[in-house]
Amino acid sequence: MKNIIIVTLLFAMGTVAAYGFNYRFLFDTARSYYSKEDWKIYQKAQIKVLNNFPNGKKLVWKNYNTGSKGSFVALKAKKVNGFNCRNLKIAMSANFRLDKATLKFCKVNGVWKGF
């Protein structure tokens, strides 16, 4: 009986360790190093691009206090279920990390929401 309990505990500990190891990469991204000031600059640039930039135009931003930077490229805009939507190509850089993604945003009740 003792052996079964020990084996069960070792298996459970191994499972938890493996789970943590497999998802650890999510915590070492550029965005995890952004300061509050970085996020304010990021959000201001994002809204500017979503509202005002034509397709294909790029906006680059940088926080000279932290060294964090990024860019947005406006992609096609379209109506989805009656909402104005737009894709953005996003690059984020901080602490020698670079993240890239293309995300869809829709304007809901006057506010851009990511989907």
pLDDT digits (tens, 9 = 90+) for 3-62: 454 434 334 444 444 444 555 555 778 888 899 999 999 999 999 999 999 999 999 999
CB 95 within 8 A of CB 73: no
In the predicted structure, residue 71 carries a pLDDT above the cut 60: yes
Both tokens of 102, joined, read 């293309």
Domains: count for the chain? 1
Q: Phi/psi class of residue 69: alpha, beta or left (left: φ > 0; alpha: ψ in -120 to 50)?
A: beta
Q: Say what the pTM is.
A: 0.73
Q: What is the pLDDT of residue 30?
A: 83
SS3 content of the chain, % helix, strand, coil (to 5): 40, 40, 20
User: Domain range holding 85?
Assistant: 2-114
In the predicted structure, residue 110 carries a pLDDT above the cut 50: yes
